[in-house]
């Protein structure tokens, strides 16, 4: 598998969003993903089948820009969990998808006690 094949590989933003959502849920302190537009001001945890809705992936001239909307566990350090999320998502996108990264933003939509 060391052969190089000429050409370009294009990965859809939805595929990247699925990768990011799965990487985010593996982080300690993350309870779930939330919808980016909480109309009523209350963050609802999305079911696993809709992880993609808590992730916004946009393509810029520099690379891929990711915004995560998460609900974290009560009692965890928000800054530490956010930094772990950035590190995990950066690793997943750069190692597995091999896409250039423009940045990762974490939006904490709520805090919840894990059951």
pLDDT value, residue 7 = 80
Rounded alpha-carbon distances, angstroms, from residue 2 to 5, 6, 9, 80, 95: 10, 13, 17, 38, 17
CB of 22 closer than 8 Å to CB of 54: no
**For a pLDDT cut of 70, what percent of the chain falls above it?**
86
Residues 24 and 30: beta-carbon distance below 8 Å:
yes
pTM for the predicted model, two decimal places? 0.83
Domains parsed from the chain with CATH numbers: 17-110 (3.30.70.1350)
> pLDDT band at residue 1, thresholds of 50, 70 and 90?
low
Residues 56 and 91: their CA atoms lie apart, in Å, by 17
Mean pLDDT on 63-92 = 94
Give the pLDDT confidence of 46-76 residue by residue, as tens digits: 666 667 878 999 999 999 999 999 999 999 9
What pLDDT is stored for residue 75 in this prediction? 93
């Amino acid at each position: 598998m060391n052969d190089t094949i000429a050409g370009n590989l294009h990965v859809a933003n939805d595929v990247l969003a699925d990768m990011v959502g799965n990487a985010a849920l593996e982080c300690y302190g993350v309870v779930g993903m939330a919808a980016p537009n909480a109309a009523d001001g209350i963050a609802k945890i999305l079911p696993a089948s809709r992880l993609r809705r808590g992730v916004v992936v946009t393509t810029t001239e520099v690379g891929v820009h990711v915004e995560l909307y998460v609900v974290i566990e009560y009692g965890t350090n928000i800054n530490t969990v956010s930094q772990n999320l950035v590190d995990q998502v950066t690793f997943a996108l750069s190692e597995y998808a091999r896409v250039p990264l423009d940045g990762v933003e974490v939006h904490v939509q709520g805090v919840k006690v894990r059951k």
